[in-house]
Amino acid sequence: MRILLADLDLAMTFLEIARTTTDASVRQRNRENARKAYETVLRFQLRLVPTAEEKKSMEEKLGNVRDGLERP
């Protein structure tokens, strides 16, 4: 479970880099990397049985990444 949470943290880092760069190719590459991490977590989370705390953290981070991906 921790690896999935770490992937979501990494996705947020990619989104932050994409948000702050002025280089369009860097922005696009980092948004794609964030989306890949997000999709990986969605795929693997169904195979795990998280604790209540892990589930809450996972849902919060997934929401944050999803919101970041929806922003231009």
pLDDT band of residue 18 (cuts 50, 70, 90) is very high
Q: What is the pLDDT of residue 13?
A: 98
Dihedral sign computed on CA atoms, order 65, 15, 71, 24: negative
Q: What is the pLDDT of residue 23?
A: 97
Can you tell me the distance from the alpha carbon of 31 to that of 48, in angstroms, rounded to the nearest whole number?
A: 26
Helices (H), 1-72: 2-20, 24-45, 52-70
pTM for the predicted model, two decimal places: 0.90
